[in-house]
Amino acid sequence: MTYQVLARKWRPRTFAQLVGQEHVIKALSNAFASGRLHHAWLLTGTRGVGKTTIARIMAKSLNCETGVTAEPCGVCSACTQIDAGRFVDLLEIDAASNTGIDNIREVLDNAQYAPTAGRFKVYIIDEVHMLSKSAFNAMLKTLEEPPGHVKFILATTDPQKVPITVLSRCLQFSLRQMTPQQVSGHLNNVLQAEQIPFEPASLSLLGHAANGSMRDALSLLDQAIAYGSGEVREEGVRAMLGAVDQGYLFEILRALVAHDGPAMMAAAESIAQRGLSYESALHELAHVLHQIALAQVVPGALADDLPLRDDILAMAQALPAEETQLYYQIALHGRRDLALAPDEFAGFSMTLMRMLAFAPVSSGSIAPATGSAPATIPARAPVAPTPAAAAPASATVSTPAPAVAAPAAPAMAAVVTAPAVVPTSAVAAVAETVTPVMRTASTAPAAEPDYDPAPWEPEAESAAPIPAHEHFQPEYEDVAQELAAQSVAHELPPEQSASPAEVSVQGANYADFNGDWHGLVTDMRMGAEGMLAQQAELVSWNNAHFQLRISRSNQALATRALDLQEKLRQALSTHFGVPIQVSAQMIDATIEHTPAAIMQRAREQRQEEAELAIQGDPFVQAMVQEFGAIVLPGSIQPI
């Protein structure tokens, strides 16, 4: 006996045997039960979701000898002949190979004759969107007002190519892709009926590999049975599918988290050995990043039987949410530009190197070059070297150096430097988002920097880098001094107080903390918990217990306060190396000394000073008075 493939052997014979598509089955069953029969139906959906199967079941429901019913008997002459494909009044037309007007005209000429053996003459036109424009026009009249004994069932995978005049004459049903759980459940029933040994984990792999198509899933199951010599095992299915095992993607992601370029490139080179294309690898990488982002935002949305679910959850903990979004966008752009690359490997490797280059790096982890200045690099860089601007190591940020006039630059641009009253931590954060160029319609002399030169300048080699805790502006120094003056004994009972010696034993970094919450938040690399830290004001930090207060106007933080507090506590404990406790109090008043508020005021002050500098520039004033020039609003940007 000739072997019949599973996709044909297990084709559903009734609506009850269909997997998924409940919204279509319910509508059709109610229509057949009530006798409200339309003359034309259009079934749309991707491959393998049951369009042709539903059309044949509808043909049996219309011609079953028991009457028009939603549950054909399956044993009468009409039902058995339709299942066998030899029912005389059922005409299945492949529009992909019969696209011309002559083919359609021949079919429609026979529509006027009454059915020979059945109740209705049923025309099933598969891939109807392949018909030519003249063929569609030829069938419009018959499709709108066919004889009472004629029913049309159209099927297509691309309804956008079907003329609107045809769509308006049909009842349209959109078939959905089946979920991996529905596919694996049906495969489980098939294997049990076939009495074939299998492992449940292997069916989950097949369900995800089918991409919503039951026919593809049954074909893959046939292949897996042959590969496993009559058995379906997880190891064999993984080896057979290859691309479904996404372990190489997590090797790339782990290398990104560790900023390990050699390991990342080694993982990229191994893709070719797996027989995969780099285009599909970028597609899978974007898909995995989407699952990681989903795990970070809605952990419960991940299916329990998802392959490599544990790896996805582990990577969601190790990778900050903002980096996940960044890598996802880079993967999409890399896949789009892959055709422009010299070859696929070059495009893929450049995409990975772009991810590594744009990965955020904390200021303390920047390694100095050989023979360079100390590793702690101030965030503020000078505009031009100034030999006369070298200052003693004890100079503070709040004491700007005298500005020295420099010769006018010949270029048609103006560069303005603002007084150095902005905290370096604020400048470091703003410098990542503000373009370091000021675009104006004038030419102005470039002023010498009015702050201490950077330690990497040859003239300032003896200057010490600015400590991380000296980040407050002069207007907030009183707040810093007030916070630093607080002691453990004043805030907690004596029996709960911790001496400085005890604190230093727990962690040297914590003993050095002086209450500069703004500088601490800027230096730390935080994810979602950074939102809470940016909008919070430090009240006390006694006995490794950080007490914060937040304005109740931040409703989003108020609703997530407990979750963010725990993440912030973990981040602080990791940073200081000692267990830290965090508590936050919601107040109705506006808080002015949060890191976010300090940063905003610093940006506004720099913008205002930059605009005043441009407007007061003699050259700009001369251009305005003599030629009527104007400075474009919004074109001035501080550097």
586 forms beta bridges with 550
Per-residue model confidence (pLDDT) at position 337: 92
Does the residue 124 lie in any domain? Answer: yes
90 forms beta bridges with 122
Helix 22-34 vs helix 51-63: angle between axes, to the nearest 10 degrees? 10
Q: How many CB atoms are located within 10 Å of the residue 497 CB?
A: 15
Same domain, 62 and 200: no
172 forms beta bridges with 42
Taking the C-alpha atoms of residue 637 and residue 431, their distance in angstroms, rounded to an integer, is: 11
Pairing of strands 545-551, 536-542: antiparallel
Per-residue model confidence (pLDDT) at position 186: 93
Task: Give the residue from 113, 117, 114 showing the smallest Cα distance to 65.
Answer: 117
Same domain, 513 and 619: yes
Same domain, 155 and 231: no
| DSSP track, 210-260 | TTT-HHHHHHHHHHHHHHTTS-B-HHHHHHHH-TT--HHHHHHHHHHHTT-
Task: Give the residue from 523, 323, 520 showing the smallest Cα distance to 428.
Answer: 523
Same domain, 227 and 266: no
Model-level pTM?
0.51
Q: Which two tokens stand for residue 534?
A: 């940016």
Instruction: Give the total number of structural domains in the chain.
Output: 4
Does the residue 533 lie in any domain? Answer: yes
171 forms beta bridges with 41
Main-chain dihedrals φ then ψ at residue 219, nearest 5 degrees? -65, -40
155 forms beta bridges with 43, 126
Stretches in the chain below the pLDDT threshold 50: 244, 363-508
pLDDT digits (tens, 9 = 90+) for 538-566: 888 887 888 888 887 776 665 566 677 88
Main-chain dihedrals φ then ψ at residue 429, nearest 5 degrees? -75, -40
Task: Give the residue from 500, 486, 490, 502 showing the smallest Cα distance to 540.
Answer: 486
Same domain, 232 and 275: no
151 forms beta bridges with 122
Same domain, 190 and 101: no
Does the residue 369 lie in any domain? Answer: no
Taking the C-alpha atoms of residue 398 and residue 472, their distance in angstroms, rounded to an integer, is: 9
Looking at residue 328, which CATH number applies to its domain? 1.20.272.10
Does the residue 377 lie in any domain? Answer: no
Same domain, 236 and 256: no
575: which residues sit within 8 A by CB, 6+ positions away? 509, 520, 524
Taking the C-alpha atoms of residue 585 and residue 540, their distance in angstroms, rounded to an integer, is: 12
In sequence order, which ranges of 298-408 are alpha helices (DSSP H)? Answer: 309-318, 321-336, 344-358
**Farthest-apart Cα atoms in the chain, separation:** 106
Query: How far, in Å, are 114, 362, 380 from residue 377 at the CA level?
Result: 90, 11, 9
Q: Which two tokens stand for residue 73?
A: 């008997």
Which of 358, 393, 414 is where one domain is finished?
358
Per-residue model confidence (pLDDT) at position 624: 87
Q: How many CB atoms are located within 10 Å of the residue 619 CB?
A: 14
In sequence order, which ranges of 524-594 are alpha helices (DSSP H)? Answer: 529-534, 555-559, 561-576
For 122, the domain range is 6-174
Taking the C-alpha atoms of residue 125 and residue 131, their distance in angstroms, rounded to an integer, is: 10
pLDDT digits (tens, 9 = 90+) for 67-112: 899 999 989 999 999 998 899 999 898 888 877 888 788 888 888 8
Sheet holding 545-551, edge to edge: 536-542, 545-551, 581-587
Which of 241, 261, 291 is where one domain is finished?
241
Per-residue model confidence (pLDDT) at position 373: 39
CA atoms within 13 A on the CB side of 205: 24
Does the residue 398 lie in any domain? Answer: no
Does the residue 378 lie in any domain? Answer: no
Looking at residue 554, which CATH number applies to its domain? 3.30.300.150
Per-residue model confidence (pLDDT) at position 520: 85
Per-residue model confidence (pLDDT) at position 428: 42
Does the residue 65 lie in any domain? Answer: yes
Q: Which two tokens stand for residue 191?
A: 């294997």
Does the residue 373 lie in any domain? Answer: no
Same domain, 152 and 260: no
Looking at residue 212, which CATH number applies to its domain? 1.10.8.60
Same domain, 198 and 70: no
CB 237 within 8 A of CB 191: no
Same domain, 275 and 204: no
Per-residue model confidence (pLDDT) at position 204: 86
Task: Give the residue from 238, 319, 239 showing the smallest Cα distance to 285.
Answer: 319
Looking at residue 85, which CATH number applies to its domain? 3.40.50.300
Tell me, what amino acid is at 460? A
314 forms beta bridges with none
Pairing of strands 121-126, 171-174: unpaired
Tokens 């294997």 — which residue? 191
Which of 321, 339, 358 is where one domain is finished?
358
Task: Give the residue from 210, 578, 632, 172 showing the smallest Cα distance to 441.
Answer: 632
Task: Give the residue from 319, 334, 243, 246 showing the smallest Cα distance to 282.
Answer: 334
Same domain, 204 and 336: no
Per-residue model confidence (pLDDT) at position 509: 66
Same domain, 233 and 270: no
